Structure 1
Amino acid sequence: MSAPLLSPEATAAALPYPALAREIAALLADPSVRVPPRLVQPLPGGGSLFVMPATDARVAITKLITFVADNTTRGLPTIQGDIVVFDAATGQRSAIVDGPTVTARRTAAVSLLALQTLAPQAEGPLLIVGAGVQGRSHLEAYLAGLGAQRLHEVRVASRSAASADALVAHAQALGLRARRVDDPDAALADCPLVVSATPAQAVCLRATPRDDTFVAAVGAFTPRMVEWAPEACRDLAARGTLVVDTRDADHEAGDLLQAGIDVAALPTLADALAGRVAPRGPVFFKSCGWAGWDLAAARCVARAQAARG
């Protein structure tokens, strides 16, 4: 029997954000999880091919995706590909799930888990810088995790006014007050929740957040990429708390590496979940991605398949 190929819609339905955040926390406590370093192969056109395997005692995956930052100019997604899911005991392929959908939802679920664990003030207004797929998924994840009463207001900044307006309209359709802002640095003063989810080809934030802010910085996931200015990162390191998603960030967290910060000395999300982080000042959560997050999503998919019989 051939393995089911899940559409983007079916993939999303199997990955509700709060459940996926809980699965990510469970995965970080699972000693059977094995995640080797991902392979990043440069492509001739300037993009990258990512090969990301992972396994636990029951499920094995390989994620195969491409990232091409300027695909928006071609009318194409910046991330394309699939995740192949196997039974770890038999080696049988059990599913092929939509890679971009998993990437969007697991990244936002990781940010939600970090917010729930570390945020000094887990309520809005929320500032989203970057109105693409990740901006939308983070909006939906935070709404699912916090509820409209706590999130209540969203401000969106983007290089594209049309993209910002579209995300504003989506937030309003979800029952939130929302508006576009043209100066994200100025908006930092009013927003205790911040998500930066740009293509990360140039600095877009130079100011520093207020002391009660939780930042999820997800756009820059290679050493060459950057969203936050080096001086802002150094200020955050001096007066706040920096946390990375995993130890893979030691050589991938472009914002922090370009600021000269010793990323290897920073705590991880697993440290925070284990109670080994005492946040002070603004919290800056740097997310670079990890195949373990995709494995958590595959575990959710496997559970949904089992429930359907």
Structure 2
Amino acid sequence: MTELLDAPATAARLPYDALVRELVAVLHDSVARVPPRLVQALPGGGSLFVMPAFDAQVAITKLITFTPRNVGTKTPTIQGDVVVFDIETGQRRLVLDGPTVTARRTAAVSLLAAQWLAPNTSGPLLVVGAGAQGRAHLEAFAQWGVREVLIHSRSEASAHLLATRAREMGLHAEVVGDVDAALARCPLVVTCTPAHGVVLRALPRADAFIAAVGAFTPRMIELDPVVTQHVARTGRIVVDTRDADHEAGDLLQAGIDVASLPSLRDVDPAAPRASGPVLFKSCGWAGWDLAAARTALRIQ
């Protein structure tokens, strides 16, 4: 029997602590394979993503659409499913809600990177962008122990809704209008906007960790190139996977040699933390969706 899970049921099967552990397991799984994803441009500015991956037990494909013109409407920008097959029998095991998987596994990857790389983990956390990714990152970092959050969004109403959610979780939350001024207060930062243009222009603190997740094509950008170049000179930049070599708009538009940067797989979490700010550039990878599928199969 195939389990068809809606958004709440998918979220219930993807607790952040278990998901982070599975992300690490996939990184070190010698059998796991992730073919290149297909990104097909669609009329009207949208894209169709076909993202396969497999290990010794399961094969998955994430099939989603990304429609930027849905920003600010009631229709999600990301829609679709993650289909999970048993390799031995070929049977379809699960169908997971694609936007929920995308939001939670992306936030879990940012959380894993912060656990391994952040110079200062005390918070406050600055969340730039108050959509699905902003909410997922808020929830993931709150589970890690962050108790104070500053929220900035192009939509003030969305920012206040996310602040309300944060307060319901027992956090101290503040909506900020000047995101660059807020940057000086926060050692933990996530940018998860639609990446239509630069949202951070100020230089980060010397002990800052920035997870930039909104830009996942060469043309998209969230960080001013001056900010990215500053981190390259004074701190450290790490990408999620080698797919970022040709997808990380924030880095490519800053003239960074992305291929020379370490990926998350190269990080030794036991190594001393480097001095200076850290930028973690996340572009997405079907291996993270494979980790989500493995997590959902284990948690009933």
The interval holding the TM-score normalised by the smaller chain is over 0.9
Kept in 1: contact 2:123–2:148 (CA 8 A): yes
Kept in 1: contact 2:119–2:273 (CA 8 A): no
Deviations 1:185-235 (A, max 9, x none): 111111000000000011111111101111110000111100001111111
CA RMSD of aligned residues (A): 1.2
- AA aligned to 1:132 is G
1:237 maps to which residue? 232
Kept in 1: contact 2:238–2:280 (CA 8 A): yes
Give the Cα separation in 2 of the matches to 1:177 and 1:135: 16
Residues 33, 273 of structure 1: alpha-carbon distance in 2 compared, 3 angstrom cutoff: farther
Deviations 1:6-48 (A, max 9, x none): 1111110110001100110011011001001110000101011
Give the Cα separation in 2 of the matches to 1:118 and 1:53: 28
Q: Is the partner of 1:54 in helix, strand or coil?
A: strand
Kept in 2: contact 1:127–1:155 (CA 8 A): yes
Kept in 2: contact 1:267–1:277 (CA 8 A): no
- AA aligned to 2:199 is C
Give the Cα separation in 1 of the matches to 2:246 and 2:105: 21
Kept in 2: contact 1:271–1:277 (CA 8 A): no
Deviations 1:74-105 (A, max 9, x none): 42001000000001222111111000000000
Give the Cα separation in 1 of the matches to 2:124 and 2:269: 28
Answering whether residue 7 of structure 2 is matched by residue 4 of structure 1, we say no
- AA aligned to 1:106 is R
**Unaligned 5+ residue runs, structure 1?**
none
Give the Cα separation in 2 of the matches to 1:50 and 1:275: 35
Give the Cα separation in 1 of the matches to 2:174 and 2:88: 50
2:70 maps to which residue? 71
Give the Cα separation in 1 of the matches to 2:295 and 2:159: 31
Kept in 1: contact 2:47–2:65 (CA 8 A): yes
Deviations 1:246-282 (A, max 9, x none): 0000000000000000000000111114667853211
2:114 maps to which residue? 115
Kept in 2: contact 1:185–1:207 (CA 8 A): yes
Shift of 1:301: 1.1
Give the Cα separation in 1 of the matches to 2:285 and 2:163: 29
1:198 maps to which residue? 193
The TM-score normalised by the length of structure 1 is: 0.95
Q: Is the partner of 2:95 in helix, strand or coil?
A: strand
Q: Is the partner of 1:191 in helix, strand or coil?
A: coil
Give the Cα separation in 1 of the matches to 2:231 and 2:9: 40
Shift of 1:53: 0.1
- AA aligned to 1:141 is A
**Unaligned 5+ residue runs, structure 2?**
none
1:84 maps to which residue? 83
Give the Cα separation in 1 of the matches to 2:270 and 2:263: 11
Greater share of helix? 1
Give the Cα separation in 2 of the matches to 1:162 and 1:74: 13
Kept in 2: contact 1:156–1:180 (CA 8 A): yes
2:180 maps to which residue? 185
Q: Is the partner of 1:220 in helix, strand or coil?
A: coil
Answering whether residue 165 of structure 2 is matched by residue 170 of structure 1, we say yes
1:248 maps to which residue? 243
* Count of aligned pairs: 300
Q: Is the partner of 1:63 in helix, strand or coil?
A: strand
1:266 maps to which residue? 261
Kept in 1: contact 2:71–2:194 (CA 8 A): no
2:219 maps to which residue? 224
